[in-house]
Amino acid sequence: MSTDKISIDWYNQNYKQYTAHVRNPDDSIYHSLYEKPAMYSLLPNLKNMSVISLGCGSGEDCNYLAQQGAKQITGIDISTNMIKMAKKTYPMYQFQVMNMENLVFENQSFDFVYSSLAIHYIEDWTKVFKEVYRILKPNSYFLFSCNHPVSAAMEVIHDNEQIHSREISYSKNKHTNEVLIKGDYMTRKTLPREANFAITTWHKPIGEISQEATNAGFVIANIVEPKPLPKMEQISEQNFTILNKIPWFIILKLLKQ
Ligand SMILES: C[S@@+](CC[C@H](N)C(=O)[O-])C[C@H]1O[C@@H](n2cnc3c(N)ncnc32)[C@H](O)[C@@H]1O
C-alpha cells in the first residue's frame, strides 16, 4: 500500500502548522536534537553533488544539503501544499509534487539520495528502493530515517486519562501457563493514529527492511540508532530519559556499489 489519502490530506491541511513546528527547533526536539544531528553526521561529502530529498516537506533539509556544498538540489513530496511551502521559501531549488515510488528522473541522475522520516508512510519499500537504486550513480548513497521498529512494535495502552504507556512484553502465569503478550515486533502493521496527527505509518521488523533494501541491490553501509543531544535534557528531561533508553527512529545508509 502506498501513502494513504488520510495522510496526504493531513499534510495538505496542516502544512502551515507542520512547517512552523519543524522550523522551531525548541518545539520539534525529536528532529532538531535527535534525528537531524544524526542524519547530518552521516552525510557524505556533498561538494558540487546533485542531490534529492524524498518526502522533503517544507524544504529545510534541502537547504541544509545546499549549505554543505551540494550544487543541484531537488526535493519531492506527495503533498501539494508542502511543496508550495517549500517553493515559496526556497525558490532557488527544484521542488516537485511526486510519489517516491515513481520517480520521474533519468537513470543515474543523482550523486546522493536523502529521505527523512517519510518512507514509513509506505507499506512495501521494494518499489522505493528499486527507484532510488535506478536514479543513483554508482558508488553513491541513499541515507534515510524512519520509525524505529522497536518503538513501532510497542502497544499503545491508555490505562486511564492520565497514563499513556507503550509496551512490548510478555508475561506468563506460573500456575495456568497463560501468556499475556503486549505489542508485536514481528508482524507488519500500521500504527494507531493519534488524534492530532492523523497519519498512517507502517511498522516492519528490521529483517524485512534489510531484505527489501538488499533485494534492490543495495549494500547496508551503516545502521544508526541515534541518541538525543545533551541539550535535550534542559528542554525536556522526560524525553531525554526516554530516548536514551528506547529508540524512536532508526537511520540506514545504503550503498549502490
Ligand atoms: C514527517 S514529514 C517529514 C518532512 C521532512 N522530510 C522533514 O524531515 O521535515 C513526512 C513527509 O513525507 C511526505 N510523504 C509521505 N509519503 C510520501 C510519498 N509516498 N512520496 C513522497 N512524499 C511522501 C509527506 O507529505 C510529508 O511531507
What is the domain-level CATH number for residue 241?
A: 3.40.50.150
Check if the beta carbon of residue 27 is closer than 8 Å to that of residue 94.
no
- Distance, in Å, from the CA atom of 76 to the CA atom of 142, rounded to the nearest integer, reads 15
**C-beta 83 within 6 A of ligand 1:** no
pLDDT, mean over the chain: 96
**C-beta 57 within 6 A of ligand 1:** yes
Q: Is the dihedral of CA 9, 191, 97, 66 positive or negative?
A: positive
Domain count, the chain: 1
Mean pLDDT within 43-49:
98
Mutation pick for ligand 1 pocket among 11, 53, 83 (CB with most ligand atoms within 8 Å): 11
- Per-residue pLDDT at 73: 98
pLDDT at 198 over 90: no
pLDDT at 15 over 80: yes
pLDDT at 111 over 80: yes
- The C-alpha cell at 189 is 502493521
How does pLDDT run across 73-83, given as a tens digit for each residue?
999 999 999 99
**Structural domain contains residue 192:** no
**What is the C-alpha end-to-end distance of the chain, expressed in Å?**
29
**Structural domain contains residue 131:** yes
**Structural domain contains residue 67:** yes
How are beta strands 72-77 and 136-147 bridged, if at all? unpaired
**Structural domain contains residue 161:** no
**Structural domain contains residue 178:** no
Span from the CA of 56 to the centroid of ligand 1 (angstroms): 6
Mean pLDDT within 234-251:
97
Work out the percent of the chain whose per-residue pLDDT is above 90.
92
**Structural domain contains residue 55:** yes
**C-beta 34 within 6 A of ligand 1:** no
Annotate 71-137 with three-state secondary structure.
CEEEEEECCHHHHHHHHHHCCCCEEEECCCCCCCCCCCCEEEEEEECCHHHCCCCHHHHHHHHHHEE
For the chain, the farthest-separated pair of C-alpha atoms sits apart, in whole angstroms, at 68
**C-beta 254 within 6 A of ligand 1:** no
Confidence of residue 24 (pLDDT cuts 50, 70, 90): very high
Confidence of residue 193 (pLDDT cuts 50, 70, 90): confident
The pTM score is 0.96
pLDDT at 38 over 80: yes
Phi, psi of 208 (to 5 degrees): -70, -40
Nearest-atom number in ligand 1 for the CA of 100 is 20
pLDDT at 209 over 80: yes
- The C-alpha cell at 236 is 525536556
Confidence of residue 69 (pLDDT cuts 50, 70, 90): very high
**C-beta 199 within 6 A of ligand 1:** no
How does pLDDT run across 144-188, given as a tens digit for each residue?
999 999 999 999 887 777 778 899 999 999 999 999 999 999 999
**Structural domain contains residue 24:** yes
**Which domain covers residue 69, as residue numbers?**
5-150+198-256
Mean pLDDT within 121-147:
97
**Structural domain contains residue 250:** yes
